[in-house]
Amino acid sequence: MKRKKLIIFTALVLVIAFSFTALAQDDKVEITVASDTVGASYELAQEAAEMYEQENPNVEVNILDTPRLANDRLNLYLQYFEQESSEVDVYQIDVIWPGDLEQHFVDLYNYGAEKYVDAHFESIVKNNTVDGKLVAMPFQIGAGLLYYRTDLLQKYDLEVPETWQELDHAARVIMEGEREEGNQDFWGFVWQGDNYEGLTCNALEWFYSNNGGRFISRDKKVTVNNPQALEALKLASDWPGGISPNGVVSFAEEDARNVWQSGNAAFMRNWPYAYSSSAGDDSRIKGKFGISPLPKGGEDGVRTATAGGWQLGVSKYSENPEVAADVVFFLTSYKVQKLRAVEGAFNPTIKDLYKDQDVLQAVPIFADLYDVFMTAIPRPSTETAPNYTEVSKLVSDSVHSVLTGDQDPEAALRYLEVDLQDVTGFESGEPQEY
């Protein structure tokens, strides 16, 4: 009788244990993070997700692969937002999007963000704060840089170009020399010329470095149609089919990097992330390249770079915003940003990581180019919110039409000025220093 009772009791215990296990499995929270695929970003996001799951076994973090181009990614996001979809909990958003998208994100201060924000660069926290609401946590900072082949500069007895005109000259000399030696696939300069946000970034660098302003000034004046901007645009319009391939007008970041890393370019404009892969064991240019600030627009110009970067925000439509916020705080933490810096050369937004010896050993340029990152010029997203997306599209449309030969530079800037006035309601003015 006692044995029978023991068997029944054991069976009940097993049933209860199984029930609790099934319940625990059913209660497991799933958080989906929209990531990008530039460089090693997607793989590192997956690695960080696994790290979080190890510390939080009741949470499953899924990494969603999103379109390569920022504009396409934004269009996807807008579809989710329009449907008020809970499918994505955490969004990786561009530095220019907080003002336009703030209504779709929770205030991270409601979930304890005040414990973490002081570790990050204050300027980025301010960028992500709209009417006192912290729309997103800083995740990655960037700025445009010039990559150059050290071996080829030495071969052709050239210096690192300080102006765009010097870059144009050096690129032509090296390209012609390499082609004479048999490499018909070699180009002087590769960059981002497709009609998307990346082209807006390049155009900002061309114009501002030649004292041509930021398209729209801080005091909300349309400044794009000026002689300095025109001079810069004319120079760039000669590059496709000249020192750059005709196909550069469809290049994004990875397209430029692929040509560069294959050894078929003398110079490249790109973001810091490209450093790690360029220095990798499978890179044909390992040990043969250097990095510098972008050139200035002539002797009277200034060196500048477009400020870039990505943030992580929690969707207002998430079914688990508290857990999603915790995931965001983990992904933007010292530990994860260090991982991304060391293994992917992604610039941290946490100030102390620029003193971390492991980071500096893995990516020495972080120390050398610290000032570039910190003094980069922002796009006029704050001045034009919530219309920046349309403003940027007008800029890239106009510049792209010049690069493809569909419109001459003078007409392009003249029409762009009128279009920007219509969208913003701003008057015209003179370009200013930021």
Q: Is the pLDDT of residue 265 over 50?
A: yes
- Which among 179, 116, 141, 85 has a CA at the least distance from the CA of 327? 116
Query: Angle at Cα 375 formed by Cα 373 and Cα 380, nearest 5°?
Result: 105
Q: Is the pLDDT of residue 420 over 50?
A: yes
- Contact indicator for 31, 61 with CB cutoff of 8 Å: yes
Report residue 308's pLDDT band, with 50, 70 and 90 as the boundaries.
Answer: confident
For residue 166 the two structure tokens come to 């010097």
pLDDT of residue 368: 77
How far is the CA of 175 from the CAs of 168, 169, 178, 266, 373, in angstroms?
11, 10, 5, 7, 30
As a whole number of angstroms, the distance between CA 213 and CA 207 comes to 6
Q: Reply yes or no: is the peptide bond before residue 386 cis, omega within 30 of 0.
A: yes
Q: Please enumerate in sequence order all residues whose Cβ is within 8 A of that of 262, keeping only pairs 6 or more positions apart, or say none.
A: 284
Give the right CATH number for 28-140+308-374 from 3.40.190.10, 3.40.50.2000, 3.40.47.10, 3.40.50.720.
3.40.190.10
For the residues 68-95, what does the mean pLDDT come to? 93
Q: Is the pLDDT of residue 89 over 80?
A: yes
pLDDT of residue 161: 98
Report residue 10's pLDDT band, with 50, 70 and 90 as the boundaries.
Answer: very low
Domain-by-domain residue ranges, the chain? 28-140+308-374
- The H-assigned helical ranges of 39-141 are 41-55, 70-82, 98-101, 122-127
pLDDT of residue 367: 85
List, in sequence order, every beta strand (DSSP E) within 179-277: 187-190, 221-222, 265-270
Report residue 26's pLDDT band, with 50, 70 and 90 as the boundaries.
Answer: low
pLDDT in tens, 181-204: 999 999 999 999 999 999 999 999
- Contact indicator for 333, 108 with CB cutoff of 8 Å: no
Lowest mean pLDDT among 110-114, 123-127, 216-220, 257-261: 123-127
291, β-bridge pairs = 147
pLDDT in tens, 167-186: 999 999 999 999 999 999 99
pLDDT of residue 303: 93
Helix axes 388-403, 197-209, angle to 10 degrees: 80
Q: Is the pLDDT of residue 19 over 80?
A: no
Q: Is the pLDDT of residue 67 over 70?
A: yes
pLDDT in tens, 320-366: 999 999 999 999 999 999 999 999 889 999 999 999 999 999 988 88
- pTM of this structure: 0.78
pLDDT of residue 127: 84
- Which among 118, 109, 108 has a CA at the least distance from the CA of 351? 118
Residues in the chain, total: 434
pLDDT of residue 377: 87
pLDDT of residue 272: 85
Per-residue DSSP letters for 67-78? -SSHHHHHHHHH
Mean pLDDT of the chain: 91
pLDDT of residue 17: 42
Q: Is the pLDDT of residue 55 over 90?
A: yes
Q: Indicate the Cα dihedral angle 180, 181, 183, 187, nearest 10°.
A: -50
Q: Is the pLDDT of residue 230 over 90?
A: yes
Query: Angle at Cα 399 formed by Cα 398 and Cα 401, nearest 5°?
Result: 65
222, β-bridge pairs = 216, 428
